[in-house]
Amino acid sequence: MMDQIDHIMSVMDAAFDPYWGERWTRRQVLDALVMPNTGAVVIDEKGREILPEHQIRSAGFILTRSAADEEELLLIAVHPDFRGKGLGRRLIALLTANARERGIAKIFLEMRANNPAEKLYRKMGFEPIGRRKNYYRTENGEQLDAITFALSNQ
């Protein structure tokens, strides 16, 4: 039987190019999920939430952490086989709706400067609020800035 970590890792392994160094290990995901106020949502190819015991193919996931009235989007991924079908938008919509129900006023995320997901984040209302110079390092040693985005969720 698959559990939530299996669902997440099946997407993680396919979605993240090792060159960028963004893929989390199974241990990192497990360690994050045992922390208070940290959670994950996994969806299938139709954008429906998958419960851990479901034996269907995972298409995407989000991993988040909240504190007070703020939420951080730690990780979002859509399996390459299912990209271009609106699943990234669906995951962010699930995140914002769930956060709003819990009284979350602001959602933050951080990404590397050349991440193509920036278009999606901006479409969903996220705005850049900060930059960390040379924060990320690629497989070949190239350094890239980190950009912090925020979304007012009220």
Give 32-60 pLDDT, tens digit per residue: 999 999 999 999 999 999 987 778 899 99
What is the pTM (predicted TM-score) of this model?
Answer: 0.93
Using DSSP, state whether 85 is helix, strand or coil: coil
The answer to whether 135 is a known catalytic residue is: no
DSSP 41-80: EEE-TTSPBPPTT--S---EEEEEEEETTEEEEEEEEE-G
Query: Structural domain tally of the chain?
Result: 1
Containing structural domain, residue 90 = 4-152
User: Phi and psi at residue 89, in whole multiples of 5°?
Assistant: -60, -40
Give 83-127 pLDDT, tens digit per residue: 999 999 999 999 999 999 999 999 999 999 999 999 999 999 999
Name the catalytic one among 22, 45, 70, 110: 110
Name the catalytic one among 71, 72, 121, 136: 121
The answer to whether 121 is a known catalytic residue is: yes
The CATH number linked to 104 is 3.40.630.30
